[in-house]
Amino acid sequence: MSNSTPSLQRSDLEALWMPFTPNRQFKAKPRLLARASGMHYWTPDGRQILDGVAGLWCVNAGHGRHEITEAVANQLETMDYAPPFQMGHPPAFALANELVKIAPAGLDHVFFTNSGSEAVDTALKIALAWHRARGDATRTRLIGRERGYHGVGFGGISVGGISANRKAWSTALLPGVDHLQHTHDLAKNAFSRGAPAHGAHLADELERLVALHDASTIAAVIVEPIAGSTGVLIPPRGYLQRLREICDRHGILLIFDEVITGFGRTGAPFAAQEFGVTPDLLTVAKGMTNGCVPMGGVLVSKAVYDTFMQGPDGIELFHGYTYSAHPVACAAGLATLDIYRREGLLTRARTLASKWEDAAHALKGLPHVIDVRNYGLILGLELEPVAGKSGARAFEVFTQCFERGLLVRQTADILALSPPLTVTPAQIDEMFGTLSDVLRGK
């Protein structure tokens, strides 16, 4: 295959309204990707780019996996589409069974969606409907956390805590939502290796919200075990355990949004297992199909599922999507889980974590580096902002890395790395070598 594909002209770029992108800035100086294989992308002019972010936290088994291509092609030939309402098909049940096998103990059921945003809105809807089904219909309040990212549906932005994602829609957000304080504390935790020591007490904020609103009004708490989009916030030691205890004490459902942390990113299949805390509902997407076909889902505890199944006859949950359990997505998901299992990818981050951590913390002391944080195969690198120009410094690092053949992710003045779980030790050195050169202005 040729490394070079025809380049796009400026006028070719106009029709597409790009998501979460400054369109005018991008179109004036585009960064294009044309091809991918293994740990790399190639630009249209054939430049090789090392993928430091698994696409966007999703291509966990590396790019261009032939087994997935084959499974998807076979499924398209065998049955391209099947309606998910009142009808079923074997790959849907097979994928649910395989997911339950690797899920935290007790999460025995799966509801399929097409994205992380839909998974979040589905989880919130299940939580509200569950309390109602149990005769607890006053439990309507949802609790998110500052700096949380839960996708872009109205439910997700309501419980989310990133103001840029909320302010334009502030009057349309769900009513009765409150937020815990975020856990970021540079003064106490900068340059922590793994989970920071300080901050478990921030979970007690939930007790404060219970005292304020009364437990009888609260349905669920949703958090990312490791907050990703906001710039990698690792949970303080003991924080998630404490949230679980408080939820249990007050009959509140705990939802983990594992769209980023799922499928091996932390060193265990799910962060719930890594941190030893089991939520009642757990959202997944991204790595579920290795990023090949859009798909998401909600893993649901037996206790929650059983309540619905013990209700009146008929449809138990008036919710679903035309493409819930799309056969092609299910085929991609099954082939993906097969690769993860055969290659031990769901726990590979654990074996690479100390190498990753040492390479990451070698960045300490470089110009403008105010924090390095890491867990599994995740890095958060925080830079001192340029006065009055939030994000400018990290954006410059992002573009320079791209010019030198490394894809990283930038959010405000934080850079995130989360490579495919197939990354080699030599590629880890290459990533941190490039980052270090760019930071030193070499």
- Contacting positions for ligand PXG (CB under 6 A): 56-57, 115-117, 120, 149-151, 224, 228-229, 257, 259-260, 285, 409, 411, 416
Amino acid letter for position 280: D
Q: Looking at the DSSP assignment, which residues form a beta bridge with residue 126?
A: none
* Residue whose CB is less far from ligand PXG, 120 or 240: 120
Nearest to 43 by CA among 3, 2, 16: 3
Nearer to ligand PXG, 173 or 362 (CB): 173
| Residue position matching structure tokens 């001192």 | 384
The residue (of 150 and 326) whose beta carbon lies closer to ligand PXG is 150
Closer Cβ to ligand PXG, 115 or 278, answer by number? 115
The C-alpha atoms of residue 158 and residue 142 are separated, in whole angstroms, by 9
Residue closer to ligand PXG by CB (options 210, 412) is: 412
Report, in Å, the least distance between residue 435 CB and ligand PXG.
17
What is the spatial distance between Cα 63 and Cα 407, in angstroms, rounded to a whole number? 14
Residue 426's CB is within 10 A of a number of other CB atoms, namely 8
Given the complex with ligand PXG, which of 89 and 286 has the nearer CB atom?
Answer: 286
- Least distance in angstroms from the C-beta of 211 to ligand PXG: 28
Alpha-helical (H) ranges within 251-301 are 271-275
| Residue (257 or 357) nearer to ligand PXG, CB | 257
**Rounded-to-10 torsion of CA 331, 336, 339, 344:** -140
**CA-wise closest residue to 1 among 65, 50, 61, 46:** 46
Report in angstroms how near the CB of residue 204 gets to ligand PXG at its nearest: 23
Q: Which is nearer to ligand PXG, 210 or 413 (CB)?
A: 413
Q: Give the integer Cα–Cα distance in Å for 401 and 441.
A: 11
Tokens of 392: 């400018």
The nearer residue to ligand PXG, 61 or 222, going by C-beta atoms, is 222
Q: Which residue is nearest to ligand PXG (CB)?
A: 116
Distance of CA 286 to the CA centre of its chain: 7
* Nearest distance in Å: CB 283, ligand PXG: 7
Our CA dihedral for 170, 176, 177, 181, rounded to 10 degrees, sits at 110
> Closer CB to ligand PXG, residue 133 or residue 259?
259
Rounded least distance, CB 267 to ligand PXG, Å: 18
Helix (H) or strand (E) holding 143: strand 141-145
CB of 156 to ligand PXG, least distance (A): 6
- Beta carbons of 220 and 254 less than 8 angstroms apart: yes
Question: Which amino acid belongs to residue 182?
Answer: H
Q: How far apart are CA 71 and CA 67, in angstroms?
A: 6
Q: Which two tokens stand for residue 137?
A: 């219909």
Rounded to the nearest 10°, the torsion over CA 288, 290, 296, 297 is: 0
Q: Minimum CB separation from ligand PXG for residue 223, in Å?
A: 9
Provide, rounded to whole angstroms, the least separation between the CB of residue 19 and ligand PXG.
Answer: 8
CB of 53 to ligand PXG, least distance (A): 8
Between 133 and 255, whose beta carbon lies closer to ligand PXG? 255
Least gap, CB of 259 to ligand PXG (angstroms): 4
> Is residue 432 exposed (0-12), middle (13-18) or buried (19+ Cβ within 10 Å)?
buried
Token digits of residue 366 = 């470089």
Buried b (16+ CB within 10 A) or exposed e, 334-351: bbbbebbeeeebbbbbbe
CB of 57 to ligand PXG, least distance (A): 6
